[in-house]
Structure 1
Amino acid sequence: MATESKELGPRETEAHEYMEKHRILELFNNLTTQLIYNRPDDPKKFTIEVLERLMNARTAHREYPCVFDDSNITSLFGMLDPTQTGYVSYQQYAEAMTTLGVKNYDEEPDGKDIDRIQYDVFMAEARKGLIQASATFAVPSQ
């Protein structure tokens, strides 16, 4: 059975553009992740608190609510580098970014040419990507 590709009508196109512009899917993904990870007793109150933190982060450009913190990134790097060489392969780096939910990471990081991505490069890219993913709005370039 062949699947037909359906073109979007003007209202659907407008809706998709609106959702992309305002990062609606990222917002709901962030809220859902936060709820599942934290499992608060009062999910509505918790959701309001997360939204308030997002608003404050947008104003102050810092402390975006995110499930992963530096200790999680460090742990992930440690799992990929069990012999503590201080670097991982480019493939490990790329897969780790995907695992963390980082969509836009540097595909040509320092060390790619020798297939050795150092911890500091890994950490910087993970942080930057998590900020972008968690902010649920456009974050100014840093």
Structure 2
Amino acid sequence: MADTERTGPKLRSEEATEYLDKHRVLELFNNLTSQLIYSRPDDPKAFLIESLEKLQKSRTSKLNYPCLFDESNISSVFGMLDPTGRGYVTVKQYQEAMITLGAKDYDENPHGSDIDRITIDIFLREAKLGLANASATFSEL
């Protein structure tokens, strides 16, 4: 077998991977699947079509990206990290929560990092932004 024949499929595979990464196709399917399992609608196909339409509208408006977590869910996460009600979490807790939630492109050291106290307002803002970035599932070309 010639070297070009062995590298040919590899190159096509790399091109396919680059294409999927560039257009965030795998993230899109992962998000759609997660929403489908979470919601368990009676008509999954209609639900998926509606989700794609919402995503398309969100892309245009840059608002309301489909997401599994709403503000009450994010507040609950904060509450679990702050069971005594101090009103803040540490930077490490904040960063680990963002990773656990699946947030993307959030500020790793937001306001309050210098004193190791991230308030719920900052936590909510960064989580919403990070989750919107993760839920957008399309590239900005």
Is the Cα–Cα contact under 8 Å of residues 132 and 138 in structure 1 kept in the other structure? no
Listed one character per residue, the Cα deviations across residues 38-73 of structure 1 (whole Å, up to 9, x for unaligned) are: 001111111011001101111111111111011111
CA distance in 2, matches of 1:43, 1:138: 25
Is the Cα–Cα contact under 8 Å of residues 22 and 137 in structure 1 kept in the other structure? yes
Q: CA RMSD in A?
A: 1.8
Partner of 1:30: 31
Q: Which runs of 4+ in 1 moved over 4 A?
A: none
Partner of 2:98: 97
How far has the Cα of 1:103 moved from its partner? 3.2
List gaps (5 residues or longer) in structure 1. 1-6
Partner of 1:112: 113
Q: How many residues align?
A: 134
CA distance in 2, matches of 1:61, 1:135: 9
Q: Which moved more, 1:35-44 or 1:111-120?
A: 111-120
List gaps (5 residues or longer) in structure 2. 1-6
Listed one character per residue, the Cα deviations across residues 85-142 of structure 1 (whole Å, up to 9, x for unaligned) are: 11101111111111111132222222222221111211111011110111111369xx
TM-score by length of 2: 0.88
CA distance in 1, matches of 2:110, 2:10: 40
Q: Which moved more, 1:131-140 or 1:36-45?
A: 131-140
The alignment partner of 2:58 has SS state of helix
Higher helix share: 2
Partner of 2:4: none
Is the Cα–Cα contact under 8 Å of residues 110 and 118 in structure 2 kept in the other structure? yes
Alignment of 1:57-136 (within 5 A): 57-136=58-137
CA distance in 1, matches of 2:54, 2:104: 22
How far has the Cα of 1:83 moved from its partner? 1.5
Q: Which has the larger radius of gyration?
A: 2
Q: Which letter does structure 2 place at the counterpart of 1:21? A: K
CA distance in 2, matches of 1:139, 1:31: 19
CA distance in 2, matches of 1:114, 1:25: 38
Is the Cα–Cα contact under 8 Å of residues 105 and 125 in structure 1 kept in the other structure? yes
Listed one character per residue, the Cα deviations across residues 3-61 of structure 1 (whole Å, up to 9, x for unaligned) are: xxxx9821111111111111111101110110010001111111011001101111111
Q: Percent identity?
A: 62
